């Protein structure tokens, strides 16, 4: 398979996203806020999807599967995992909590952003499954995996920007209680 290095690189990059999400979670002393938990879960699940989807053609091709058979198997796996990821994330209690907290405008913007990447990802994989453009199957599959990586990157960016700023020493909420004693 000619794109082995490309797929391995995409898997490595996605692995870094998992690491960043773990660091953010640990830095937060274990995410407990529904908003933060949802974003961390989304980063991790999308990055793991990319890792699996990127490694699938490399591994499956070792079984002498090539051409449409290779890309069909990989695309079916990717579609099933994508559906599973979506179901798991949507059924999570935290997802429902933050969904209710967003304004209508925020929900529309987030959904439009998500769908603008998810629809072409699914479409590329379905086109491969249907065998509509056999000469383009490697490119279509790579496009789907690349879009998955972009989804993970944007989710990580949203997670980073949604973090609360650390409180400073001049912030009264961070000053220790003195119990009325003066220094």
Task: Tell me the residue range of the domain where 92 lies.
Answer: 4-163
| Stretch 158-179: mean pLDDT | 54
Residue 119 domain flag: yes
Q: What would the pLDDT profile of 82-96 be if each residue is shown by its tens digit?
A: 999 988 888 876 666
Question: Helices then strands (H, E): number in the chain?
Answer: 6, 0
What's the pTM? 0.77
pLDDT of 73 strictly over 90 = yes
CA distance 21 to 153: 11
Cα dist from 165 to 85, 152, 160, 168, whole Å: 30, 23, 10, 9
Please state, for a pLDDT cut of 90, what percent of the chain lies above it: 38
Residue 95 domain flag: yes
Residue 168 domain flag: no
Residue 17 domain flag: yes
Residue 175 domain flag: no
Q: What would the pLDDT profile of 23-72 be if each residue is shown by its tens digit?
A: 766 665 555 667 777 888 888 888 899 999 999 999 999 999 899 999 99
Residue 58 domain flag: yes
Q: Which residues contact 98 (CB under 8 A, 6 or more apart)?
A: 34, 35, 38
Residue 68 domain flag: yes
**Cβ–Cβ under 8 Å, residues 121 and 86:** no
- Residue 175's pLDDT band (cuts 50, 70, 90): very low
Structural domain count of the chain: 1
Residue 173 domain flag: no
Instruction: Output the pLDDT for position 12.
Output: 82
């Amino acid at each position: 398979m000619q794109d082995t290095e490309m797929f391995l690189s995409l898997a490595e990059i996605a692995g870094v996203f998992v690491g960043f999400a773990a660091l953010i979670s640990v830095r937060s002393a274990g995410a407990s806020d529904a908003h933060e938990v949802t974003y961390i879960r989304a980063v991790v699940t999308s990055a793991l999807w990319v890792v699996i989807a990127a490694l699938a053609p490399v591994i499956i091709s070792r079984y002498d599967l090539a051409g449409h058979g290779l890309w069909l198997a990989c695309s079916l796996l990717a579609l099933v995992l994508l559906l599973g990821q979506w179901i798991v994330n949507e059924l999570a209690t935290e997802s429902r909590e933050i969904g209710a907290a967003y304004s209508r405008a925020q929900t529309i913007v987030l959904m439009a952003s998500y769908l603008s990447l998810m629809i072409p990802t699914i479409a590329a994989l379905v086109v491969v499954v249907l065998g509509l453009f056999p000469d383009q199957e490697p490119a279509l599959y790579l496009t789907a995996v690349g879009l998955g990586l972009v989804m993970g990157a944007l989710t990580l960016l949203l997670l980073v920007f949604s973090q609360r700023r650390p409180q400073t020493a001049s912030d009264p909420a961070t000053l220790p209680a003195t119990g009325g004693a003066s220094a």
